Amino acid sequence: MTDSGVLRIAVLISGSGTNLQAIIDAIAAEKIPAELVAVLSDRPDAYGLQRAAAAGIPTIPLNYKAFASRSDFEATLASELAKLHPDLVVLAGYMRILPAEIVNTFAGRMLNVHPSLLPAYPGLNTYARVLAAGEKHHGATVHYVIPELDAGPAIIQYRVAVEPGDTEAHLRNRVQAGEYRIYPQTIRWIAEGRLRLEHNQVVLDNQPLTSPVIIEDDQC
């Protein structure tokens, strides 16, 4: 952290950056004692870069398609992250699987938000899969990142009831509204020194979590 105790955060995005905006807004409202040191994207046209620029946050566009190989891109990404010296790396709609080398460099200091109640429904197309399976609930999970996809220790979940006649779009809107609550909340806990990962165990307020914190939607 900086000498003032402010958490230094680097954010990785691939798209519109709505979770990024929720974090920007929470920091601007002084709800999180943190500084966004840079927003990096694998797509130079990602709208989230415009959000960052509008908030005065440095942007680092890395055009994945311009690199000769995946390993070249990953080496450049690792180098850019190293230059930033972040205390925390936040994945906010970053759509590429990170190599184990980067993940391990930031072990216990990298977060992701996934649109399902993990460990159920890792991977893509969670809304369609949940509706097809006739599940009663869906939601989002903030978790620490490990090399295995969507398998890191869960911290907090936002849960909504699947309504009769729900569509993917309607369900997505309600789940994403929850993401905008639980992602800044998680970062705030870290910035305040309340949350940490210890021997692959999530510890909140010095108490090991046996299961993630659950935030219920009004319909639950």
Cα–Cα distance between 113 and 122 in angstroms, integer?
Answer: 11
**Helix, strand or coil, per DSSP, at residue 11:** strand
* Residue 179 host element (H or E): helix 168-191
Nearest alpha carbon to residue 64 among 110, 97, 109, 86: 97
Q: Residue 78 gets which letter from DSSP?
A: H
Q: Bridge-partner residues for 141, per DSSP?
A: 114, 157
Instruction: Tell me the chain's radius of gyration from C-alpha atoms.
Output: 17
Would you please indicate which residues are annotated as catalytic (active-site) residues? 114
